[in-house]
């Protein structure tokens, strides 16, 4: 409803501009003898009351959580349409009356009433419009209202018979009611369908949450068992249970590697399930430069072994945002891990941090010169368990959950993330985190 009222007010601004142009063009270009003063006064009145409606609407938006908010919005919409219909009748009267070709603009307001208002209010608006039109017709028929011609001849048209006039009124009124009926019928069905979809989405969300809770419980139990198995294998490998032969050692080492891979998968699955059951996360002031430095240091040995050049471009010594520290560490760990894993020997990895949107947000980039991502995989790259074909061919390691976790973390921090990539030329992950207000809790401190 909020967006519809704003749309209605915007339409009226356009109508005010168009009305002024039409009046001026009709009088000075087409030389139609229109009374300029009352028509221009009508245009001014339109601008004034639309400005008032705009201010009232802005005030209502600040009270959107109030219990009677929707009633106030409906009252505002009703008043606007009543004023529009009254002004339309006034303008039509001073520009030819019933011979004015714009007389059917009443129908547009019936359609808008059917969209914005309740069915009862829309039919009341149709009745009001019919009443205004009937009074205009009666005034012209009885020669009570002075005639304002559209032609230079200036003669009033012959009034015609009572039956013809009544037939014209009934035709026009029935058109208004039919327009309201069709519009309200369609809108009612759409609103009902919208409510059904909302209920379905709520049920699906609840079921997904229950599923995630179940997966989280199972994953936690599996993780505990796998950790115990890995601990036993490590005990055997280190000879604490006695000396073992080379073949036995080889088999135990293979089992250890497999258990570590499986344990990593279960931990990722546990993280995904946990994030989907959380609607909010605990935040604190975190210096993300320190987080990035810490995570980069964890991969230092692998980077050196592969001869990868690593750069970190930062525009400040500190980037302090309200965030969950563990989630931020996990986010950068997953992105840097992917960059190192899928970048060949002698490649490049570049990390950059910079303020954007007039320092209202911070943009992070992690770019590599690795294997890249095919165009048909870019849309799926953040899906659970998805791994691009060239990634599978490059290495078997990977759970397909890392980037899903990354996206969920960014979303939990009200951020946005996207990926830019080209096969065999590299990949760049770009995500933006907004700064909270007041700015004292989220600052980019200048580099010393």
Q: Tens of pLDDT along 155-185?
A: 555 555 566 667 667 767 877 887 888 788 8
> Once rounded to an integer, what is the mean pLDDT over residues 23-35?
84
- C-beta separation of 32 from 150 below 8 A: yes
pTM of the model: 0.52
Residue 183 CA to residue 185 CA, distance in Å, equals 5
Beta bridge partners of 221: none
Q: Which of 325, 408, 338, 324 is nearest to 366 (CA)?
A: 338
Of the pLDDT bands very low, low, confident and very high (cuts 50, 70, 90), residue 230 is confident
Tokens of 409: 């973390």
The residue that leads in pLDDT, 351 or 273, is 351
Beta bridge partners of 445: 318
The residue that leads in pLDDT, 210 or 51, is 51
In percent, how much of the chain has pLDDT > 70?
Answer: 90
pLDDT above 70 for 379: yes
pLDDT above 80 for 439: no
- C-beta separation of 419 from 427 below 8 A: yes
> Once rounded to an integer, what is the mean pLDDT over residues 95-115?
81
- C-beta separation of 317 from 253 below 8 A: no
The residue that leads in pLDDT, 441 or 150, is 150
Q: Decide the pairing of beta strands 348-356 and 309-314.
A: parallel
Of the pLDDT bands very low, low, confident and very high (cuts 50, 70, 90), residue 433 is very high
pLDDT of residue 327: 87
pLDDT above 90 for 336: yes
Q: Which of 322, 32, 69 is nearest to 148 (CA)?
A: 32
Cα distance from N-terminal residue to C-terminal residue, the chain: 50
Rounded (to 5) percent helix, strand, coil in the chain: 65, 10, 25
CA atoms within 13 A on the CB side of 235: 7
pLDDT above 50 for 411: yes
pLDDT of residue 287: 92
Of the pLDDT bands very low, low, confident and very high (cuts 50, 70, 90), residue 199 is confident
In percent, how much of the chain has pLDDT > 90?
Answer: 20
pLDDT of residue 436: 65
Angle between the N-to-C axes of helices 36-61 and 69-93, in degrees from 0 to 180, rounded to the nearest 10: 170
Residue 176 CA to residue 166 CA, distance in Å, equals 15
């Amino acid at each position: 409803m909020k967006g519809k009222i704003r749309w209605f007010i915007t339409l009226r601004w356009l109508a005010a501009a168009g009305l002024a142009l039409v009046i001026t063009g009709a009088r000075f270009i087409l030389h139609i003898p229109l009374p300029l003063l009352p028509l221009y006064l009508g245009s001014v009145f339109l601008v004034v009351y639309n400005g008032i409606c705009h201010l009232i609407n802005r005030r209502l938006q600040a009270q959107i959580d109030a219990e009677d908010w929707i009633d106030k919005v409906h009252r505002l919409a009703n008043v606007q349409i009543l004023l529009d219909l009254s002004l339309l009748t006034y303008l039509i009267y001073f520009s030819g009356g019933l011979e004015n070709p714009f007389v059917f603009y009443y129908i547009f307001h019936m359609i808008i009433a059917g969209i914005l208002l309740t069915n009862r209010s829309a039919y009341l608006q149709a009745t009001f419009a019919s009443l205004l039109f009937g009074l205009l017709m009666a005034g012209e028929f009885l020669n009570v209202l002075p005639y304002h011609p559209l032609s230079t001849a200036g003669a009033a048209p012959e009034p015609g018979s009572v039956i013809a006039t009544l037939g014209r009124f009934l035709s026009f009124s029935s058109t208004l009611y039919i327009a309201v009926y069709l519009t309200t019928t369609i809108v009612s069905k759409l609103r009902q369908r919208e409510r059904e979809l909302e209920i379905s989405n709520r049920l699906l969300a609840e079921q997904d949450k229950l599923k995630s809770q179940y997966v989280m419980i199972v994953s936690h139990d599996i993780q505990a068992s796998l950790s115990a198995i890995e601990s036993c294998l490590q005990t055997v490998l280190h000879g604490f249970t006695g000396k073992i032969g080379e073949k036995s050692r080889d088999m135990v080492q293979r089992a250890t590697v497999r258990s570590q891979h499986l344990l990593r998968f279960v931990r990722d699955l546990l993280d995904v399930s946990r994030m989907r059951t959380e609607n909010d996360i605990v935040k604190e002031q975190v210096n993300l430069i320190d987080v990035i430095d810490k995570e980069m240091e964890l991969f230092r040995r692998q980077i050196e072994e592969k001869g990868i050049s690593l750069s970190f471009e930062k525009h400040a010594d500190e980037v302090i945002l309200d965030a969950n520290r563990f989630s931020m560490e996990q986010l950068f760990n997953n992105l840097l891990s992917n960059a190192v894993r899928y970048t060949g020997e002698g490649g490049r990895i570049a990390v950059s941090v910079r303020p954007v949107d007039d320092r209202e947000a911070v943009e992070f980039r992690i770019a590599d010169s690795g294997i890249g991502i095919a165009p048909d995989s870019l849309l799926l790259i953040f899906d659970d368990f998805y791994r691009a074909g060239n990634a599978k061919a490059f290495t078997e390691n990977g759970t397909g959950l890392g980037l899903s976790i990354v996206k969920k973390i960014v979303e939990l921090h009200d951020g946005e993330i996207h990926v830019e990539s080209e096969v065999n030329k590299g990949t760049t992950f770009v995500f933006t985190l907004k700064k909270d207000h007041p700015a004292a809790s989220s600052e980019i401190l200048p580099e010393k």
